[in-house]
C-alpha cells in the first residue's frame, strides 16, 4: 500500500513493482494466485519495452488489473524489483480490454531525473518511443489491439491513481486480477 503521505499532488512518490525490464521482448506478469512473477509470453513483434514496466501495488485499474507504470530507468532492473518513483504524468491508450492508462514515472534515486517534475521534462524522442511501442507491440498477436491517445500531465495522472486506489479498496475482498497486468 502507498503510505498516506505519498502518492499525492504535493508528494507524487509511489512504489512500482517491475514486471518487465527495459529492452525485454519477454512479457512478465505478477500472478496473484501463486504470489510470483511468471513469463506471460514473448512479444512476436520486433520491438522491446522502452522502460521498466510494472504496476502500482494497492491499485485496481479500469481493466481489472493493477495500475500500470513505466519507470524511466537508465539501466534495466529485474522482475520483482521495487522502485521508489515520482509520477510525471500518464500515457493514455486502449487495448482489447478497454482503457489501459500507464503512469510515467522516474526513480527518485537517479540524479538524471532529480529535477524532473512534469511530463514535459521527458525528452520528446523518449515519449515518441513509448507511444510507438504501445501502438505496435500487439500487432502480430491475434485478437489483440491497441489504440494510443497520447500523454497527460501530473494532475490527470494523480486522478487516475486516486481512482485506482479507491477501486482497490472497494474490491479488496473480491477476486479481480488485482496485481497482474496485461
Which residues form the catalytic set?
100
**CA 43 to CA 27: how far, in whole Å?**
7
**CA 91 to CA 104: how far, in whole Å?**
7
If 0-12 CB within 10 Å is exposed, 13-18 middle and 19+ buried, where does residue 47 land? middle
- State the CB neighbour count (10 A cutoff) for residue 113: 21
Residue whose grid cell is 486516486: 162
Amino acid at each position: 500500500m502507498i503510505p498516506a503521505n505519498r502518492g499525492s499532488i504535493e508528494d507524487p512518490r509511489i512504489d512500482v513493482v517491475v514486471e518487465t525490464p527495459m529492452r525485454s521482448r519477454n512479457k512478465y506478469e505478477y500472478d496473484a494466485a501463486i504470489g510470483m512473477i511468471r513469463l506471460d509470453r514473448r512479444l512476436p513483434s520486433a520491438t522491446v519495452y522502452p522502460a521498466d514496466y510494472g504496476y502500482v501495488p494497492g491499485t485496481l485499474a479500469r481493466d481489472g488489473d493493477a495500475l500500470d507504470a513505466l519507470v524511466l530507468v537508465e539501466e534495466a532492473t529485474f522482475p520483482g524489483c521495487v522502485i521508489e518513483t515520482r509520477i510525471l504524468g500518464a500515457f493514455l491508450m486502449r487495448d482489447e480490454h478497454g482503457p489501459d492508462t500507464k503512469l510515467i514515472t522516474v526513480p527518485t534515486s537517479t540524479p538524471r531525473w532529480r529535477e524532473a517534475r512534469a511530463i514535459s521534462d521527458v525528452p520528446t524522442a523518449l515519449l515518441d518511443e513509448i507511444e510507438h511501442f504501445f501502438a505496435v507491440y500487439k500487432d502480430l498477436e491475434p485478437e489483440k489491439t491497441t489504440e494510443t491517445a497520447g500523454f497527460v500531465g501530473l494532475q490527470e495522472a494523480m486522478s487516475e491513481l486516486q481512482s485506482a486506489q479507491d477501486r482497490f479498496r472497494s474490491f479488496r475482498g473480491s477476486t479481480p486480477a488485482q496485481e497482474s497486468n496485461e
